[in-house]
Structure 1
Amino acid sequence: MSSENGQGDGAAGGVPPEQLALIRESVRKAKAPRAKPRTWRGAELAERLPVARVVVDKGVLHLDRYFDYAVPRDLDEQAQPGVRVRVRFGAGGHRVRGGRREGGGLVDGFLVERVAESDYAGPLAALAQVVSPEQVLDPELLGLARAVADRYAGSLADVLQLAVPPRSARAESRPSPEPAPPPPAPGPGPWERYSRGPAFLDALATAGAPRAVWNALPGPEWADALAHAVAATLSSGRGALVVVPDGRTLARVDAALTALLGPGGHAVLTAEAGPEKRYREWLAVRRGSVRAVVGTRAAMFAPVRNLGLVAIWDDGDSSHSEPRAPQPHAREVLLLRAAHSGCAFLLGAWGCTVEAAQLVENGWALPLVADREQARRAAPLVRTVQDTDLARDEAARAARLPSLAWQAAREGLAKGPVLVQVPRRGYVPRLACERCRTPARCRHCAGPVQAGADGSLRCGWCGRQEPAWHCTECGAFRLRAQVVGARRTAEELGRAFPAVPVRTSGREQVLDTVPGTPALVVSTPGAEPVAEGGYAAALLLDGWTMLGRPDLRAGEEALRRWIAAAALVRDQQAGGTVVVVAEPTLQPVQALVRWDPVGFAVRERTERAELGFPPVSRMASVTGPPDAVDAFLAAVELPGDAQVLGPVLLPLSPPGSPRRTGAPPPGEQWERALVRVPHGSGAALAAALKTAQAARTAKPARASAETVWVRVDPPDIG
């Protein structure tokens, strides 16, 4: 019986034992009840990768993370990484603000990735909508935005608002043009005037990644040089990105690129272009139709395919600093892009910032300069005169100009237009030596010395009292208040030169160009128009108003403004002359006379290194009501090598004045503290400040009612 049974089980049907086991397993599975499909409130979910990780458009720091959402089956094909989505935030299992559930309204976001399982144990809310199938956020742009947020102690959502422009459905529906073939490698062109210029261009054309700090020669050729660098990069099959400070500068680079690459060879990205046009140009770059981009700071995140070069012009211009959170600087964003993607980097300007000198000093970039003789030939003749000579200069009182400036203006008007640079109004009052007008500085941190309501002297940065101040230059003990604002006006010059037309360029109306005919062009710093054929002369008035600003960058900024104006003047061989009205012995004035902005930046960096100030260190500012700032500093866990300077009270804003980001409301007393760390501890400082700010914003509204503004690497610490 056992034998028959065994034969019946194993061989009666002619089925081998291993196959019989498989058949039985199949029958068992067929008889087992089928598992119900995964659903969320009656909606079936995607079978593959049913969980979407989303970064929601909430800029508060304690919500700076990804949130998991379920992917409905009907959105499976559209819900791809990088698309815009809408989700219900705070509902369906997401717990925020200390574990309390909040009502979930629809908010925008970006789908970052699709995964099989969620780390969240509770039920997931489902994606409400895929706004568009256009994948606007790729991993490279996401990684850059994350790095910028971490560097500036900000949130990823805030950075993405800067990086991805608002959607325009009409722009998305239009196809982008076909990409143009790579242009041929250009000749050296303007780069022949620089010793390493042709080699730099050859490296770009052969897919190299050179990094250079470029000190441009005076004249209009700088825009053509940038265009040649872009064309050389495109010839290697890669993309290029150029960031400039303003629309007038953008127009010059745009014209140079059009002349070299032809119409449609590059995209122009600027916030002033309008939402639809800007998004259409941005999409053309994102889709790979255009591989060359030029724009203002809005373009620093441009998603250029196969990026081969990032370039920035005039990095010292304040327009490169983004006013919206987390307030990144275009130079630092491009440095991050160059480091992450391994592309070439070019920082160019007529002058040289201390940050640029730091890049060369630490070996990260090489200098790209002309030899001294070439620079002298290209620059105008610079002469100096002290404004103290005006009081005893009877012949020039009609125009309130020293005789030397008067003579230069009269001779220049015989040959062409004359530029008159007048510092703009509104600088804060400051103190200087009564004898030599050297700005009063603190002995401990080199901050500006200010007078209190009771007449006592104290530092505006670290708050220490200075009862025994004396001038480090001449030894005098008496101080004087420096007058703020411009002294010269177009009306006064018009009365002094009645037969000459007077044009003005400033806040109300900024001129792009002026004719090459004789005229007086009165301009505030940064608003100087370009003259056809160059200016015959330039007068840089009231230099002490810029040099005396209570700011760490006062000398650097004054020299940058002067060189930018002097670079528009004809060279010495053509008779170009610049007269600067300032103390001749001061370092920025001497650097202008010798046309040596690089040497000044190197010396300035050395002095800052001795004082421990940026860029050899990293710094952050904490601003707000006194109680809130004290509470924040007590709660933050700073790195062990951090130093806190202050806090000190900020000047009161007059009633009715416009409110600026991070500035106290009119009539309200705020204070500010500066936190300083060595350069290697910058990431730890940003992380500590972000953690403390996130803990503060996560508290109930009553506990965090008083605002505290945190800014990493503030451009102005005066």
Structure 2
Amino acid sequence: MTGTRRAAKGVRQPAAHLPIARVYVDVALAHLDRTFDYQVPEQFAADAVPGCRVRVRFAGQLVDGYLMERAAESDHVGKLAFLDRVVSAEPVVAPEIASLARAVADRYAGSMVDVLRLAIPPRHAKVEAEQPAETPDVAPFPENGERTGWSSYPRGESFVEAVAGGRQPRAIWQAPPGADWPARLAELAAVAAGAGKGAVLVVPDHRDVDRLHAACTALLGAEAVVALSAGLGPAKRYRRWLAVRRGAAKVVVGTRAAMFAPVADPGLFVVWDDGDDLHAEPRAPYPHVRDVLVQRAHLSGAALLVAGFARTAEAQLLVDSGWAHAIAADRAAVRAAAPRVTAIGETDAQLARDEAARSARLPSVAFEAARQSLRDGAPVLVQVPRRGYVPALACGQCRAAARCRRCAGPLGLPRAARGSETQPAACRWCGHGEPAFRCAECGSRRIRAVVVGAGRTAEELGRAFAGATVRTSGRDEVLATVPATPDLVVCTPGAEPVAEGGYGAALLLDGWASLGRADLRAAEETLRRWMTAAALVRPGSAGGRVVVIAESVLAPVQALVRWDPVWHATQELAGRTELGFPPAVRMATVDGTPTALATLLADLELPDGAEVLGPVPLGEVDMDGNAERERALIRATRRQGRQLATALAAAQARRTARKDPESIRVQLDPLDLI
């Protein structure tokens, strides 16, 4: 405890051995992204270990910092201040994590301290003082050498053997429909742990964490596996994180922040469903889990597996470049496991003859598929791309967007209150009702729904399939599982519960709403959502049906019908390469006020051939009607990616050194470009 007490001023003496501490101060200014030298007082010599938390005086204020290393002498010619205190002698920054944090900061034009904030959870003193748990013994898995889960894949068994041998295999696993992916990933983690290596498995959300943690625990025992997610309280999260840092757990399963989990001697990194936007960190410097684990596997010499039912253009680039190999089932096995997929274009769809189907706005094929599944006693999954009741309205005559007279916000139809049959349209921004709508373009008073949300869809299906229970899964309540009963399960993308024995049918509604988004990744993301839902359906040989409401000529629909995400990823990557979009190039978005953006662009030392697109307004205006923020896109080749990041970081450092008052947001390779 003496290390946490502040030393008395006037009696400090430098430590006899390695008296210099190099510290990253926790100050969010780009020009301070380096270590600063401090003297270590003799009374702190034992506690001031590399990786510990310290308090130092910086620019007249006491700030937090991380002691990165001890040295015998300093290059600083002036007088050095002493460490104010050692907050804790716990070395929270492992050497491997320090190297990774520096690499991530350099790749994303960020600062080391920003990355350390993401990697190191807040300290909990009471937890830190607890007795460390013992490291469990993990037996080699499996002892007889059989790995039936991976032996069915070409290259699957060789990948497992490489993990067991401590080598550095890198692969993209294309999981077939219906695959028990938690069991397969748990087997890999057990192989790595049995070889004395650590494993980090990152999944999008807490439901995936629960499934994968249960699979890993079944093979390795509860003591060897730690689950890390944002839903844990501060004490529980820090206790589990410390167990990993101290080597008491060999396998980490978690959400986005687990990409920095400090496992000892890492041998395997896995990211499941890398196209999910939950893998993109919303805080500076905005790293993506897939890219961080690629960096980490390269730095540590560990194995890497990028897995999912769909495939992103970024994963396809890893295969095309030869950096990773593909692991996929043969086409015969995929066809045997896949449900039967039918695409129905909305313009050509024929509604069922009965009024119940007509009220549910389902084509007859979709209606019959759902009714057959319910007759067979299996649940039906209905995926709706928008939550809410009727989230978007338009003029019934000219189709112009319906907007509020007060704030010009979009009008929507909220769910009717209990006991009332109707509810007037209301603004989704200011909340004011609009009972007497009049179109500003043509003057019509008629109004129509642009897209129907999950709430309204559930009501319509309840009327169409009288007697069937309708369950909803979305933002308000996300279901993890549903029983094998003849129910209708209406959900939004990403909230699909797992059905016992699989769904008998899946209806993927309003495909145009997903495919028509003004987004570079709209087609890729839509296919990923569809495949995630379709993978929960029984095989076609067992009666499994998937009906997608979208035109069959579209590439994502064709990829779903043939269950060929590799073909779609190849087409997507080729298109982006031709047009010059990520991942074929490195691209940065720079957001700021017009003045700040112009100043930064004028000060930017870009690599030769780099291109600046814009700036263009982001659509945000101030009270006077002037554009508040603009966006510029900066494009460079992949070989120039490091130069681009360095140039942006240097420009930000010059801005903060000048104390420019206006903020600038810099993101490299963001998911959203427009």
TM-score range, shorter chain: 0.7 to 0.9
Give the letter for the 2:382 counterpart: V
CA contact (8 A) 2:617 2:627 kept: no
Q: 1:121 maps to what in 2?
A: 77
Aligned residue for 1:405?
366
Mapped to 1, the partners of 2:487 and 2:303 lie a distance apart of: 43
Q: Please, which runs of 5 or more residues in structure 1 have no aligned partner?
A: 1-38, 91-103, 430-480, 656-664
Counterparts of 1:539 and 1:72 in 2: how far apart (Å)? 68
The whole-number CA distance in structure 2 between the counterparts of 1:205 and 1:81 is: 32
Paired residue for 1:622, among 582, 590, 603? 590
Distance 1:42 1:293 in 2: 45
Q: Which aligned pairs between 1:655-694 and structure 2 lie closer than 5 A?
A: 669-694=628-653
After superposition, the Cα gap between the structure-2 partners of 1:255 and 1:220, relative to the gap in structure 1 and judged at 3 Å, is farther
Q: CA offset at residue 669 of structure 1?
A: 3.4
> 2:286 and 2:559 mapped to 1: Cα distance?
31
After TM superposition, give the deviation of residue 645 of structure 1 in Å: 1.4
User: 1:482/1:152 Cα in 2 relative to 1: closer, same or farther (>3 Å)?
Assistant: farther
Assess if the C-alpha contact under 8 Å between 1:485 and 1:545 holds in 2. no
Paired residue secondary structure (2:596):
helix
Judging changes above 3 Å, is the alpha-carbon distance between structure 1 residues 598 and 330 closer, same or farther for their aligned structure 2 residues?
A: same
Any residues of structure 2 matched to 1:500-579 within 5 Å, and which? 500-579=468-547
1:82 matched residue in structure 2:
51
Bigger mean CA deviation after superposition, 505-514 or 198-207: 198-207
**Structure 1 residue matching 2:136: 3-state secondary structure:** coil
C-alpha separation in 1, matches of 2:159 and 2:628 = 52
Structure 2 residue corresponding to 1:337, chosen from 296, 313, 322: 296
Offset of residue 152 of structure 1: 0.5
1:620-642 CA-partner distances (Å, limit 9, x unpaired)? 00112222212211111111121
Q: Cα deviation per residue 1:436-466 (whole Å; 9 max; x = unaligned)? A: xxxxxxxxxxxxxxxxxxxxxxxxxxxxxxx
Secondary structure of the equivalent of 1:387? coil
Mapping of 1:3-152 within 5 angstroms? 41-90=10-59, 104-152=60-108
Structure 1 window deviating more from structure 2 (515-524 vs 282-291): it is: 282-291
Structure 1 Cα separation of the partners of residues 515 and 579 of structure 2: 19
Q: What root-mean-square deviation, in Å, do the aligned CA atoms of Structure 1 and Structure 2 show?
A: 2.3
Choose 485-494 or 508-517, whichever is displaced more: 485-494
Asked if 1 retains the 8 angstrom alpha-carbon contact of 2:153 and 2:328, the reply is yes
Report the count of equivalent residues.
Answer: 606
Aligned to 2:404: none
Q: Which amino acid aligns with 1:85?
A: V
- Match among 246, 263, 266 for residue 304 of structure 1: 263
* Residues 1:420 and 2:382 are matched in the alignment: yes
Is the CA contact (8 Å cut-off) linking 1:379 and 1:567 kept in structure 2? yes
Mean Cα deviation higher: 117-126 or 158-167: 117-126
Find the counterpart in structure 2 of residue 238 from structure 1: 197
Q: For residue 435 of structure 2, what is the aligned residue in structure 1?
A: none
2:501 partner SS:
coil
User: Does 174-183 or 299-308 show the bigger shift?
Assistant: 174-183
* 8 Å CA contact retained: 1:59, 1:156: no
Q: CA deviation at 1:286?
A: 1.1
Pick the aligned partner of 1:160 from 81, 103, 116. 116
1:651 is displaced (CA, Å) by 2.7
Alignment match, 1:12? none
- Paired residue for 2:409? none
Provide the TM-score with structure 2 as the length reference: 0.87
Post-superposition offset of 1:403: 1.3
Give 1:248's match in structure 2, choosing from 207, 227, 233.
207
Partner amino acid for 2:57? Answer: R
Q: Any conservation in 1 of the 2:387–2:492 contact (CA below 8 Å)?
A: no
Q: Does 1:638 align with 2:598?
A: no
SS of 1:324's partner is coil
TM-score, normalization by structure 1:
0.81
Greater Cα shift, 122-131 or 41-50? 41-50
- CA distance in 1: counterparts of 2:319 and 2:24, whole angstroms: 38
| CA distance in structure 2 between the aligned counterparts of 1:167 and 1:42, rounded to whole angstroms | 29
Q: Aligned residues: percent identity?
A: 55
Would the alpha carbon gap of residues 393 and 498 (structure 1) be closer, same or farther in structure 2, given more than 3 Å must change?
closer
Equivalence for 2:242: 283
SS of the residue 1:493 aligns to: helix
**Does structure 2 retain, via aligned residues, the 8 Å contact 1:620–1:712?**
yes
Equivalent residue of 1:645, what SS? strand
Equivalent residue, structure 1, for 2:459: 491
Contact 1:526 1:561 in 2 (8 A): yes
The Cα shift of 1:261 comes to 1.1
Contiguous gaps of at least 5 residues in structure 2: 1-7, 393-447
Task: Note if contact 2:319-2:325 (Cα within 8 Å) is conserved in structure 1.
Answer: yes
Q: Which amino acid aligns with 1:176?
A: P
1:392 and 1:536 map into 2 onto residues whose CA distance is 21
Q: Secondary structure at the match of 2:658?
A: coil
| 2:351–2:364 CA contact under 8 A, matched in 1 | no
1:359 to 312, 318, 323: 318
Shift of 1:228: 0.5
Deviation at residue 611 of structure 1 after TM alignment: 1.1
Q: Hey, what's the Cα distance between the residues in 1 that align with 2:625 and 2:228?
A: 36
